[in-house]
Structure 1
Amino acid sequence: MISVPPIPALGAIPGWGILRADHRTYALDLRVTRGERAGALSLERCAAGRMRDVYPVARHDIEVRTGRMGAGALVCLLMAVRSALADADPRCLRLLYAVPADDLGRLAAAESAAFRRVVDVDLGGEEHCLTVWEPASVTRRDQGLHLIPEG
């Protein structure tokens, strides 16, 4: 098993208030607010949680879980979490967000927040679409990799 660093504490999430935080070694559960609406947000190191057995994860990867909320709020929250985690843990280069397979609205919201669908997985007996966000520095690739030098 790889060594897993503790989950970082978030000082702030841009555009969101934090009502309550339960900080454990590898996970952080938050109650967040935006205006008069409140929602649940959980962050967990993938290598210490349920993702370690369903997807190839690195030690700094983080799974994002949210409670039910409108599509617009979900897009804003996912984008704000990306920003907050970039500041709190610059070594985190992958965020995973699992969407129940039949929740097309939540999947569209994740995609609007720049998460891309990568694979369907079974989590706790239910099929989920696993979406991933990675910074451009990770997804950028050399356009000449397909060229094989002759010689």
Structure 2
Amino acid sequence: MPEPLPQPLFAPPWSSEVTSWSGTRGRLLLRREGSKSVTVEMQRCAAGRLRNSYPISARDIEVRLFGLASSDELTTALAAVVAAIHSAEAHCRKVVYAVESNGAHQGRISRLATIAAAEAAGFRYVVDVDVAESELSLLVSEPGWVTEVDIDLEHVPGS
């Protein structure tokens, strides 16, 4: 059984309202002062559509956003969501954002603009995968402790 999904808390100027939440999946409305709300879906990768698509960790979280009008809005919202997830879930190794090959998930934002917006929010492209309903390009955001490299090649960690 995957780890329970924590409810993220957003720092001002952001606020959120949970519309549904379970142990492994959640949906909320995210608002920034003076802006319309964006729908955010989060799910443990181990319990969702990506569970057999790439090497996942028990605390990885897939994020999906809906209702965005521009790539700038996507970048800003993704950055806020990642910050809130890492604040609520210190052991999350990867926040995953999947871009559909046909770009249908973001409506007016093209696939390439969606990828560029995610990269501007700190994500990096990892791999293309096929799931039952579509082909996805997976991008991940990882905290510094996951990507740190010990340059001291003479030192064995833990010794």
Alignment correspondent of 2:55: 56
Q: Do the aligned partners of 2:19 and 2:28 also contact (CA within 8 Å) in 1?
A: yes
**Which of the residues 107, 110, 129 maps onto 2:115?**
107
- 1:55-101 CA deviation, whole Å, 9 max, x = no partner? 11111110011114111111111111111112211111211100122
Q: Return the TM-score normalized by structure 2.
A: 0.82
Q: Do the aligned partners of 2:10 and 2:80 also contact (CA within 8 Å) in 1?
A: no
Cα distance in 1 between the residues matched to 2:18 and 2:45? 22
Report deviation, 1:21.
2.5
User: Cα distance 1:7–1:51, how it changes in 2: closer, same or farther (>3 A)?
Assistant: same
Q: Which moved more, 1:52-61 or 1:67-76?
A: 67-76
Q: Give aligned pairs, total.
A: 143
Alignment correspondent of 1:124: 132
- 1:87-119 CA deviation, whole Å, 9 max, x = no partner? 211111211100122411111100101100010
Q: Return the TM-score normalized by structure 1.
A: 0.86
Report deviation, 1:14.
4.5
Q: Give 1:71's aligned amino acid.
A: S
Q: Give 1:126's aligned amino acid.
A: S
Cα distance in 2 between the residues matched to 1:52 and 1:105? 26
Gaps of 5+ in 2: 103-110, 154-159
User: Cα distance 1:40–1:95, how it changes in 2: closer, same or farther (>3 A)?
Assistant: same
Cα distance in 1 between the residues matched to 2:6 and 2:16? 15
Cα distance in 1 between the residues matched to 2:117 and 2:12? 18
Q: Could you tell me the percent identity over the aligned residues?
A: 37
Paired residues for 1:1-151 under 5 Å:
3-12=1-10, 14-34=12-32, 35-69=34-68, 70-102=70-102, 103-143=111-151
Cα distance in 1 between the residues matched to 2:141 and 2:8? 18
User: Cα distance 1:6–1:101, how it changes in 2: closer, same or farther (>3 A)?
Assistant: same
Cα distance in 2 between the residues matched to 1:98 and 1:77? 15
Gaps of 5+ in 1: 146-151
